[in-house]
Amino acid sequence: MTVKAKRVRRDPEDAKNLILDATEGLMLDEGYAAVTTRSVAKRAGLAPGLVHYYFPSTDDLLVAAYRRATAANFEQLTSALEADDPVKELWRLQTEGTPMALAVEFMALGNHRKAIRAEIAAYGDRARDLQSAAVARFIQDSPVDPAICPSICFATLLASVARGLVMEQSVGISRGHAETRVFMQWMLEWVSGSRKATPAS
């Protein structure tokens, strides 16, 4: 007599989170190209049909993963920019491994999928405006001349340097990284006014 395996009913939100966790894990471990319905289902321990049920297309899955990641990132960003020294916190957040590594993977994906590109552009503008507003409040009494480097420029430079370091590190490039990090720390100290220093002429 054959005993049928008892089917386990999963809570829809639990199932969706398992699928999105698996998607993020694949992107970090193997790159965005590794994300397929079958690979995500296998990693999540679910049937491929269940992945299709919640996310009918790969774009639907990737957009959902991006939105979940950016929602978490936005919370972290908001908290960082409310700190006593938002400039240092912004740098720390931008150079941390997993969130930035995932962001870089999504940016690479955006070159190939219009749906992701649109999401990245919308989130990027929103995040940059938030960063700029916080930086503007902080550097108004600092040596930074807003006529030369307005807050939006400062926020963009900070994010761009951090992203560049993370992207290069992900492919094994490290030359110049230590020196760049030392310089950035010096610059942040200078801006925050905790060190009596003047930039080299």
Among 183, 195, 181, smallest CA distance to 94 is for 181
Asked whether the beta carbons of 197 and 189 are under 8 A apart, the reply is yes
CA distance 61 to 57: 6
CA distance 33 to 167: 17
What is the pTM assigned to this prediction?
0.74
User: Mean pLDDT for the chain?
Assistant: 86
Q: Which residue has the tokens 């199932």?
A: 15
CA angle 51, 53, 56 (to 5 degrees): 85
Whether 198 shows a pLDDT value over 90: the answer reads no
> Per CATH, the architecture of 10-56 is what?
Orthogonal Bundle (1.10)
Q: What per-residue confidence (pLDDT) applies to 177?
A: 96
183 vs 116, which has greater pLDDT? 183
Six-digit token string for 150: 């307005």
Among 162, 155, 157, smallest CA distance to 87 is for 155
Would you place residue 55 in the very low, low, confident or very high pLDDT band (cuts 50, 70, 90)?
Answer: very high
Would you place residue 170 in the very low, low, confident or very high pLDDT band (cuts 50, 70, 90)?
Answer: confident
Asked whether the beta carbons of 154 and 135 are under 8 A apart, the reply is yes
